[in-house]
Amino acid sequence: MLRAVSTGAGPLRLKDSRHVVLVEDDHSMRTAIQRLLGAAGYRVLAYASAEGFLKTSGAHQAACLVVDLHLPGLSGFDLIHRLGGTVRTPIIVITGYDEQIARESAETLGAVAFLIKPFQGQDLIKAIRRALALGTRQLHSRPHGRRSPG
């Protein structure tokens, strides 16, 4: 596990394998997830909107992104589209709506998990562990700067 070098409020300098970014507009859900993941040993940076997140370099520092679909302004899908191709960070989608089209769209966009609120905390932690394992394999299986064939 890499240790992130933090200078207080400044950005991380290294990609930390325990660093999770959360984009969730509901304050109580955002706080609950931050506490859950913090207790599980993850470092969490949380944003209330996609726009707030996009103003930072968080995507390039995160080992995993947890994104709510129904956000004010840019939706979770809009955020994933904007990140497409520029970030190879695994994404977990969370939503309060169990819609088949949303599941299929998330899968098409490469989300590694799709969780319906309310979900069990252990389900999110398991999804993050799977995402981190997948992210590590992807990073080690592809040379930097090259896309996989296909």
- Collapsed DSSP state (helix, strand, coil) of residue 113: strand
The pTM for the full model equals 0.80
pLDDT of residue 89: 87
pLDDT of residue 15: 55
pLDDT of residue 113: 96
Q: Which residues have C-beta within 8 Å of that of residue 49, sequence separation ≥ 6?
A: 23, 25, 71, 72, 73, 74
DSSP 8-state secondary structure symbol assigned to residue 48: S
pLDDT of residue 88: 79
Q: Which residue has the tokens 């209330």?
A: 48
Q: Which strands make up the sheet holding 64-68, listed edge to edge?
A: 43-47, 19-23, 64-68, 91-95, 113-116
What is the C-alpha separation between 82 and 59, in angstroms, rounded?
11
Q: Determine how β-strand 64-68 pairs with β-strand 113-116.
A: unpaired
Write out the chain's pLDDT in tens, 150 residues: 322 333 233 343 345 678 999 999 999 999 999 999 999 999 999 999 999 999 987 667 789 999 999 999 999 999 999 887 667 789 999 999 999 999 999 999 889 999 999 999 999 999 999 999 987 555 434 333 333 333
What is the C-alpha separation between 13 and 32, in angstroms, rounded?
27
pLDDT of residue 75: 96
